[in-house]
Amino acid sequence: MERLKSAVPTELRRAVGEGTAADLPATSSRLFAFFHTLPLFHQVMQELTDPELALCRKDTVKAVEFKGHGNACFSRREFGQALRYYSQALRHVPINSDGMDVKLVSAIYVNRASTMHKLGLFKESLRDCDRAITISPNYSKAWYRKGMVKTALKNYSSAVHDLEVALSLEVTSSGKNNIEQELKLILQKHESVNEAGTSNCDSKDEYLPLAGQPHKVVIESISTPNKGRGMASTDDIPPASLIHVEDPLAAIIMKSSREIHCHFCFSETPADVVFCPSCTIPIYCSKRCQEQSVGDISCDEDTHLGYSTSIANLSITSTSCKSPRSKLFAEHKHECGGANWAAVLPTDVVLAGRIMARSIEKMMLSGKSFAISGPNLDLVHHYDQHSPANKLESQIYAIVLSLCLQNYYRSDLLWTEDSLSQLVLLIFQIKVNSIAIVRVRSVDGSPELTVNTGVSGAEGANMCGVEQVRVAQAVYVSGSLFNHSCQPNVHAYFLSRALVLRTTEFIKSGSPVELSYGPQVGEMQLSERQKSLQENYYFSCQCSSCSELNLSDLVLNSFCCPQNNCLGAISESTYYRSKENFVNVSLGGSYVCKLSLPDVSKVDKDMENVAKSLLGNIGVSLNIDHGCCTSCRSHIDVLSALATSHREESTINRLKKLTLLDKTLITEALQSLKLLKKLRHPYSKALAQAEDTIAEAFAKVGDQERARKHCEASIQILEKLYHPKHIIIAHELTKLVSILLSLGDGASAAATFAQAEAIFSLYYGSHVEKTLTYMGALKKAVSDV
């Protein structure tokens, strides 16, 4: 795209960059007319849409080559590498009904099934056997492998059936003899061992987010002078209440997650990954997800769960499909068929294409020629606030996307000036309103957790660290109506593709119902939150937490007073408090907010003392100057303090980058921590992170007692910055649980786990283990001890 941007004449570039949303029909049509005469543009479009130039085409020759590599690895007993080669073979081999090499495809499935059998992946192996049988019902090797896997699962009666089918289909005498021998062994085991049942291994569990909901919750759309449109409660809502569930209008995988997560439900893919039948781009966790994505599945009442929402009032009443056996929208179908554009264009542009394709297909039901119009999404776009570079880039992408869609659909679709400008605005609506679908996983990248139990001082006993990973981007039309708060009363999470919102505190009737767009009190100070929201969402936050300067805003990135026993903080920013109790905050411009004095009943004695030192008495003028203590006015050189702090933090952070740690590195890190404690305020985030890093290092080298000490120190600081029932605290508590288990302290581990589980239940309700998969392993480890 850089080539196209650089080709735009200066005058036209200026007209696009200085134009407003009202000018879009004129500027976009001028840009389109220019590109229409530009040979470079036609070359780019050919590269994006010509199947002969596509890199994502199916290729039987490549498939055979990968299969050969897999066979060689299997012979060398390199089963992990063999599995990867067989999967690549399935990715490249044509699997659709037209022109499929049945023999080749079924052989690859069975080879991958055999490999997974060797790796102990029995359920995954069975699924591949069933896929081979579906394609080639008379393939004896598929029936044989299926029977052998069921034998490993101790499902002997079913195994006997499958091997008898294999025996009846086998044509070689050596093959028949081998099957007969296996049958004899299995029949002997069958007589002495009880059966172990198996389930349908190719089905996906449907989630039921409404299960156990005590009552219907209704919220309504409101408008306020400060925040515009938002959502509010119509009744009192208790904590942990499920208030909203919504499937996306459209969703798309992030490019960074393409090889790890299912392109439809966004779960991590299993070993028996499923591929698109017509191109090599998407991967799926199951046949069902593949069919839903490419449009080969119909909607039944018992297989699909939808949710009705309206703009005025939202409820969590679930509904089935509007018409049984109606086709679901196939969001990948228009991208498939050998074109490159869906793999090359930015994610938000491809997402816009999916929304536009849905709109086009609805209009095409009329069977007549018509002018394309974009979907009527009642969402803000902030077009006029975007930079000239963003405006030009998005108009170019809109033109390219319109031609890619026109290339797939029929030529008599009429694209007008209005339809092109609507597509530009749609791209900006996605930039501002789309929501990132996240998954929580352990820091080693796996959804499961390995915990050492009862082995005090065990080497390599890692803490139970987790991270949030952005795996997809989606547009939730009703979900976009919820405003942001830096101290939200609603937690958002995802079950498959569905957005789920749950209250985290009591919400009084008529109060705003707000979630977090990312920045939160305790994580960022006020100036950082404002900057992040302005850059990403184009608004200045006026939530209650940004209208009032919180205590955590003053201590989060602050330094301690050089005077002993003074709890005052020295801030990197400049504040001024007037007698009216308002504070001017330096944000690169003028920003005024009210000073928030902590409720003494809700804070511990330490925080109460810090608050008094920082904030003094109401009604007394107080300058919170750059480099000056808020309490005794002592001064430090902030630039020098920052340089020292960064140096010591870097020394500590080296522990994260190294797999093998020695005592010298940890000793140096402890010395840096000692210096940081003399420099940073006792409740600064830098200290919490340093304590956590050192705790993890001690856990790795087997010194669990010292790991426990530093982990607890980190949690104590974070409880001051957030609050004791914040979800961040629950994640930190799970780290402490893993350390306590390694120490063999089952009682403390159980109590700490119960504390973490109680917090998680507030945020996830009954979906804790479904959303936080590592919690199941941790719970089992605690119960075992």
Q: Beta strands 250-253 and 466-475: pairing type? A: antiparallel
Provide the CATH number for the domain around residue 734: 1.25.40.10
Q: Do 642 and 715 fall within a single domain? A: yes
Count structural domains, the chain.
5
Domain boundary among 509, 543, 577: 543
Q: Do 136 and 24 fall within a single domain? A: no
Residue 197: Cβ within 10 Å count: 8
pLDDT at residue number 264? 95
Average pLDDT score over residue span 250-267: 94
Q: How confident is the model at residue 316 (pLDDT cuts 50, 70, 90)?
A: very low
Cβ-Cβ contacts under 8 Å for 8 (sequence gap 6 or more): 16, 31, 34, 392, 396
109 contacts 125 by C-beta, under 8 angstroms? no
Q: How confident is the model at residue 336 (pLDDT cuts 50, 70, 90)?
A: confident
Average pLDDT score over residue span 264-270: 94
Q: Do 539 and 555 fall within a single domain? A: no
Q: How confident is the model at residue 605 (pLDDT cuts 50, 70, 90)?
A: low
For residue 464, pLDDT beyond 50: yes
Domain boundary among 543, 559, 584: 543
Render pLDDT for 730-766 as a digit per residue (tens, 0 to 9).
999 999 999 999 999 999 999 999 999 999 999 999 8
Q: Does a structural domain hold residue 578? A: yes
Residue type, 299: C
Residues 204, 303: Cα–Cα separation, whole Å: 10
Domain boundary among 496, 513, 543: 543
Q: How confident is the model at residue 660 (pLDDT cuts 50, 70, 90)?
A: confident
Render pLDDT for 226-256 as a digit per residue (tens, 0 to 9).
777 889 999 999 999 999 999 999 999 999 9
Render pLDDT for 474-514 as a digit per residue (tens, 0 to 9).
999 999 999 999 999 999 999 999 999 999 999 999 999 99
- Predicted model pTM: 0.84
Render pLDDT for 416-425 as a digit per residue (tens, 0 to 9).
778 889 999 9
pLDDT at residue number 369? 59
Helices (H), 556-637: 605-615
Residues 576, 593: Cα–Cα separation, whole Å: 10
Give the domain extent around 517.
221-248+476-543
Q: Does a structural domain hold residue 454? A: no
Residues 736, 709: Cα–Cα separation, whole Å: 10
Q: Do 108 and 135 fall within a single domain? A: yes
Residue type, 244: H
Q: Does a structural domain hold residue 279? A: yes
For residue 537, pLDDT beyond 90: no
60 contacts 93 by C-beta, under 8 angstroms? yes
Q: Does a structural domain hold residue 779? A: yes
For residue 608, pLDDT beyond 80: no
Q: Do 585 and 511 fall within a single domain? A: no
Q: Does a structural domain hold residue 304? A: no
Q: Do 494 and 555 fall within a single domain? A: no
Average pLDDT score over residue span 567-576: 69
Strand residue runs (E) in 390-477: 435-442, 466-475
Q: Do 601 and 644 fall within a single domain? A: no
Q: How confident is the model at residue 56 (pLDDT cuts 50, 70, 90)?
A: confident
Phi, psi of 548 (to 5 degrees): -130, 135
Provide the CATH number for the domain around residue 228: 2.170.270.10
How many CA atoms does the CB half-sphere of 252 hold within 13 Å?
A: 22
Q: In what order do the strands lie in the sheet with 490-495?
A: 242-246, 498-503, 490-495
pLDDT at residue number 87? 97
Residues 31, 13: Cα–Cα separation, whole Å: 9
Cβ-Cβ contacts under 8 Å for 278 (sequence gap 6 or more): 58, 94, 96, 294, 336, 337, 338
Q: Do 23 and 147 fall within a single domain? A: no
Q: Do 532 and 591 fall within a single domain? A: no
Q: Do 648 and 521 fall within a single domain? A: no
Q: How confident is the model at residue 466 (pLDDT cuts 50, 70, 90)?
A: confident
Render pLDDT for 695-711 as a digit per residue (tens, 0 to 9).
999 999 999 999 999 99
138-141 LR contacts (CB < 8 Å, sep 24+): 138/169, 139/106, 139/110, 139/169, 140/166, 140/167, 140/169, 140/170, 140/171, 140/175, 141/107, 141/110, 141/166
Render pLDDT for 624-651 as a digit per residue (tens, 0 to 9).
667 888 778 888 998 999 999 999 999 9
pLDDT at residue number 328? 67
Q: Does a structural domain hold residue 313? A: no
Q: Do 699 and 568 fall within a single domain? A: no
Tokens 């009190």, residue located: 521
Average pLDDT, the chain: 82
Q: Does a structural domain hold residue 623? A: no
| 127 vs 545: which has the higher pLDDT | 127
- Give the 3-state secondary structure of residue 249: coil
Rounded to the nearest 5 degrees, what angle is found at the Cα of 306, between the Cα atoms of 305 and 311?
A: 160
Q: How confident is the model at residue 112 (pLDDT cuts 50, 70, 90)?
A: very high
Estimate the share of the chain in helix, then strand, then coil, as percent rounded to the nearest 5.
Answer: 50, 15, 35
Share of the chain above pLDDT 70, in %: 80
Both tokens assigned to 200: 């349908």
Q: Do 281 and 406 fall within a single domain? A: yes
pLDDT at residue number 201? 47
For residue 308, pLDDT beyond 50: no
Average pLDDT score over residue span 674-701: 94
Q: Which of 744, 132, 731, 45 is nearest to 449 (CA)?
A: 731
pLDDT at residue number 407? 86
Q: Does a structural domain hold residue 325? A: no
Question: For the chain, first and last CA: distance in Å?
Answer: 58
